[in-house]
Amino acid sequence: MKTIRKVVLLSSALMLLVLPTVTNAEENSNSPLHWGFKKGENGRQADAGRMFEVILEDHGAVYKGDENAKDLYLTFDNGYENGYTAKILDILKKEKVTAAFFITGHYLESAPELVDRMAKEGHIIGNHSWHHPDLTQISDEKIKQELEMVRAETERITGRKHMNYLRPPRGIFSERTMAIAKEAGYTHVFWSLAFVDWNTDQQKGAQYAYDKIMTQVHPGAVLLLHTVSKDNADALENVIRDLKKQGYSFKSLDELMLKKAGMKNPMLY
């Protein structure tokens, strides 16, 4: 009996050594995904495909709004300041349009006065991480640190406490990173309209930016523009005015989330 008991105990011990420990990373795949979609045209919505649609739905993320409503959601990525954000803010104020600005640690350190202005003028400030890393390549704890550093510094500058929206750096994400961000209180916001506008040494003029936006625009579009682009700053006023003439209305991400998920709190307060 003693021998049998020893064998059973030994077998149990070996099983404990062999069986994997279930972690959040194993429950949610960390295979890197690169955001992409079929562009909208002739008023038809962009389409990210079934796989992305399911993943976003599972994690409460968004990339476009209602196909039956001519609502637009204007968002900007702010990795660093290149001298055009003040002009963009002037246009938004003039046209009474609320936008979302996804900012990095570098932006917070180099342009705090613009971040404060964004908040004071009613714009949403979103999290774009502190160092702009590929989130799929860093630990759970590091992801949380990246996001918290941005939130805390935004609070210090603006006095506003909560931050609800995240745009993953470089458009790279995984189910693991989405789960970590969601647990931290963030909704991933992707986009359904974009073009190569971030190369500061390859700007092609305001008309180019205008055409790229107008040919892709569709009901429910989440527009992604980069504030480093002179073309965007120069084209923005005409874009907004002409889209309004076409019957489009510019809404905030808060309004999108209220419509899609009944979200109660604004991005910052």
Residue 33 is classified by DSSP as E
Query: Is the Cβ–Cβ distance between 222 and 94 less than 8 Å?
Result: no
Integer angstrom CA distances of residue 240 from 68, 84, 97: 20, 17, 9
Weakly modelled stretches of the chain, pLDDT under 70: 1-27, 261-269
Write the pLDDT tens digit of every residue in 184-234: 999 999 999 999 999 999 999 999 999 999 999 999 999 999 999 999 999
Q: How many Å apart are CA 58 and CA 140, to the nearest integer? A: 19
Answer for the pair 152, 131: CB distance below 8 angstroms, yes or no: no
Q: Is 113 helix (H, G, I), strand (E, B) or coil?
A: helix
Please, what is the end-to-end C-alpha distance for the chain in angstroms? 68
What confidence score (pLDDT) does residue 78 get?
98
Catalytic residue among 123, 128, 188, 226: 226
The pLDDT score that the predictor gives to residue 266 is: 45
Q: What is the pTM of this model?
A: 0.87
Tokens of 55: 């993943």
| pLDDT computed for residue 261 by the predictor | 66
Residue of 77, 197, 231, 254 marked active site: 77
- Catalytic, 234? Answer no
Cα 179 → chain centroid = 14
Give, in order, the Cα–Cα distances in Å from 255 to each of 55, 74, 106, 202, 260: 22, 12, 28, 35, 9
| Residue 162: active-site member | no
Residues with Cβ within 8 Å of residue 166, at least 6 apart in sequence: 102, 126, 127, 128, 147, 181, 186, 187, 188, 189
Residue 76 is predicted with a pLDDT of 98
- Tens of pLDDT, residue by residue over 32-58, are 999 999 999 999 999 999 999 999 999
Complete domains list, the chain, with CATH: 32-261 (3.20.20.370)
